[in-house]
Amino acid sequence: AISVAVVGATGAVGVEIRDCLEKSGLNLATVRLLASKRSAGQTVPFGNGTLVIEELTDDSFRGIDYALFSAGSGVSKEFAPKAVAAGAIVIDNSSAFRMDAAIPLVVPEVNQDVIPAQPGIIANPNCVAIIATVPLAPLNARHTIRRLNIATYQAASGAGAAAMEELRLSTAAYLAGEHYEPRVLKHPYAFNVFSHNAAVNPETGYNGEEEKVIEETRKIMCRPDLLISITCVRVPVLRAHSMAVTVEFEHAVSPEEVRAILKDAPGVRIVDELEANHFPMPNEASGQGDVLVGRIRRDVGDPSGRSIALFLAGDQLLKGAALNAVQILQRLVG
| Interacting residues toward ligand HSE by CB under 6 A | 126-127, 154, 158-159, 197, 209
Quote the CA–CA distance of 305 and 323 in Å, as a whole number: 36
Query: Smallest gap, in angstroms, from Cβ of residue 90 to ligand HSE?
Result: 17
The residue at minimum Cβ distance from ligand HSE is 158
The one catalytic residue in 20, 143, 232, 241 is 241
For residue 142, give every residue at least 6 positions away whose Cβ sits within 8 Å of its Cβ, in sequence order, or none: 257, 261
Q: Is 20 a catalytic residue?
A: no
Catalytic status, residue 127: yes
Q: % helix / strand / coil in the chain, to the nearest 5? A: 35, 25, 40
**CB closer to ligand HSE out of 94 and 149:** 94
Question: How many CB atoms lie under 10 A from the CB of residue 308?
Answer: 25
Catalytic residue among 20, 127, 143, 232: 127
The minimum distance between CB 43 and ligand HSE, in angstroms, equals: 28
Residue type, 244: A
Q: How far is the CB of 209 from ligand HSE (least distance, A)?
A: 5
Residue 10 or 307 having the CB closest to ligand HSE:
10
CA–CA separation, 249 and 246 (whole Å): 10
In this complex, which beta carbon is closest to ligand HSE, that of residue 138 or of residue 158? 158
| Cβ closest to ligand HSE, residue 60 vs residue 197 | 197
C-beta of 127 vs 332, nearer to ligand HSE: 127
CB 312 within 8 A of CB 292: yes
Q: How far is the CB of 256 from ligand HSE (least distance, A)?
A: 33
Among the listed residues 34, 94, 39, 36, the one whose alpha carbon sits nearest the alpha carbon of residue 61: 34
Residue 98 CA to chain centroid, in angstroms?
13
Nearer to ligand HSE by Cβ, of 133 and 307: the residue is: 133
What is the amino acid identity at position 218? R
What's 107-176 look like in SS3?
CHHHHHHHCCCCCEEEECCCHHHHHHHHHHHHHHHHCCEEEEEEEEEECHHHHCHHHHHHHHHHHHHHHC
CB of 274 to ligand HSE, least distance (A): 30
Provide the minimum distance between the beta carbon of 242 and ligand HSE in the complex, in angstroms, as a whole number: 12
CA angle at residue 314 from 285 to 183, to 5 degrees?
95
From the CB of residue 246, how many other CB atoms can be counted at a distance below 10 Å?
17
Active-site residue list: 127, 241
